[in-house]
Amino acid sequence: MTSGRLVSKPRVLLFVLALILLWSGCQSDDGTFPGGDAQDIVRQVAESPWGAVLETSRTLQQADDGWQLANRRDELFSGFAPAKSDAPIIISSAHGRVAIFAEGRRAVLGEVVENAVVYPGAARGADVLVALQKTRVEELLVLSSEHAQHELKYRLELGDGMTVEESGNGLAVLDDKGRFFTRLTPPMALDARGEAVAVELAWQAEASGASLVFTVDEADAYPLVVDPAWVYGLGSPRKRWWRSNVSTVAVAGSMAMSQLLMVLLTSTGMPVRS
């Protein structure tokens, strides 16, 4: 009987130790369970100022190890959301490929809700959503409290010949011919009251691409949503300017034609209404 008791004690201790390790592995650094129900996460974002991101997201279809836009035969660029949150978001076209790795992420299986891929508890104290659109890929990080991860690190892996340069308050990735491939817009963050929270971006070029660090200030009201967005390129800088200002050019052209018509009518003596 004595020997039997001696054998059972290590088993009990191992069992208790396993429970402790399982409990600690399921908790985040602030002692709370990370992540929530995917439906609740999307509902929370939809009711915030970021709801428009979900409204403009498009239908997704299953792809190898992730999701991409459905019916994308006419698309020049392709966005890809991974099946697990520790795998990269990918932007690709015939002119190049960019893989966006988020460092320190847990391997959480994504779930499609309202045309967004949701990764509950993928970062410390934060849920992650990825929305694929026709012109961009947006990642929404929902930070639950001041204990959540406020320093967000990424690593870019670029295709052959591609480079990174500063573009305004964001970054631009150029293809091997120096054309705009994709652009990281100036990072934004809004707290639970809809007030802006400062986000600082630091980056460094590397042999295979670049490393990025977003440092987000603490908010007065949580949850806090951070929105790194990657906009697809439009070709060369000149072509990019023309497309982004086409409406302005059209208005200016219309005004010039109206003024020319006014001169012609006046010179012929025809009555002109002012």
Cβ contact 192:101 at 8 Å? no
**pLDDT, position 211:** 97
Q: What DSSP state is assigned to residue 32? A: S
- State how far the Cα of 208 lies from the Cα of 161, in Å rounded to an integer: 10
- pTM of the predicted structure, to 2 decimals: 0.74
Residue 72 near residue 78 (C-beta atoms within 8 A): yes
Digit-by-digit pLDDT tens for the chain (274 residues) are 444 443 344 554 444 444 334 434 444 444 343 567 999 999 999 988 888 888 888 889 998 899 998 876 667 889 999 999 999 999 999 899 999 999 999 999 999 998 899 999 999 999 999 999 989 999 999 999 999 999 999 999 999 999 999 998 899 999 999 999 999 999 899 999 999 999 999 999 999 999 999 999 999 999 999 999 999 986 554 444 334 433 333 333 433 444 434 434 433 444 444 3
Q: Could you state, in order of their start, the residue ranges of all structural domains in the chain?
A: 21-235, 237-274
